[in-house]
């Protein structure tokens, strides 16, 4: 439950999905929560390289995130550190994306976790993610319930 996991099945081959994730031209076409414009996209997709992306949401506010590429294995895996630039959440977090070739194209597994530190790395290595996801679903289900109650 210390991480968010999203899975998408995409009708495109892994190399095309990988390039969409890592090139400024690609990022400009999809980055951001609501379809507002990407104002700046810089990437250097190799281990130790950095990215910086600035975008505007439809409410007019601008946001920028940046980080460092930690793992770059085209077209299978991407891991990067993540930080908001400016006054937003000052913590550093970790984004991991795995791409697996499937019959219809690519299965993309996306994870965003807080606590990007040694303890997190060790836990990842110890492989607790399965149990974690189960518990996450459990808690998310119950907190969604709360939201309904308030609505």
Interface contacts to other proteins, rule CB under 8 A? 1-4, 6, 8, 10-13, 16-17, 19-21, 26, 29-35, 89-91, 105-106, 108, 110, 112, 114-115, 119-120, 123, 128, 131-132, 135-136, 138-140, 142-143, 146
Distance CA 36, CA 93 (A): 23
Pick 48 or 141: Cβ nearer other proteins: 141
User: Minimum distance from CB of 50 to other proteins (Å)?
Assistant: 19
Return the HEC string of 91-144: CCEEEEEEEEEECCEEEEEEEEECCCCHHHHHHHHHCCHHHHHHHHHHHHHHHH
Pick 34 or 46: Cβ nearer other proteins: 34
User: Minimum distance from CB of 85 to other proteins (Å)?
Assistant: 15
Q: Measuring CA to CA, which residue among 118, 100, 122, 123 is closest to residue 110? A: 100
Q: Please count the CA atoms within 13 angstroms of the CA of 4 that sit on its side-chain side.
A: 6
Pick 48 or 60: Cβ nearer other proteins: 60
């Amino acid at each position: 439950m210390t991480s968010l996991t999203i899975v998408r099945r995409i009708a495109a081959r892994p190399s095309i999905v990988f390039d969409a994730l890592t090139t400024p031209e690609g990022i400009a076409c999809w980055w951001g929560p609501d379809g507002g414009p990407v104002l700046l996209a810089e990437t250097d997709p190799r281990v130790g390289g950095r990215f910086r992306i600035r975008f505007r949401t439809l409410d007019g506010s601008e946001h920028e995130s940046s980080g460092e590429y930690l793992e770059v294995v085209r077209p299978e895996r991407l891991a990067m550190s993540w930080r908001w630039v400016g006054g937003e959440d000052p913590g550093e977090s970790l984004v991991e994306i795995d791409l697996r070739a499937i019959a219809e194209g690519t299965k993309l597994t996306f994870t965003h976790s807080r606590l990007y530190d040694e303890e997190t790395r060790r836990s990842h290595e110890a492989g607790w993610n399965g149990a974690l996801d189960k518990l996450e679903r459990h808690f998310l289900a119950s907190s969604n319930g709360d939201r309904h109650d308030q609505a």
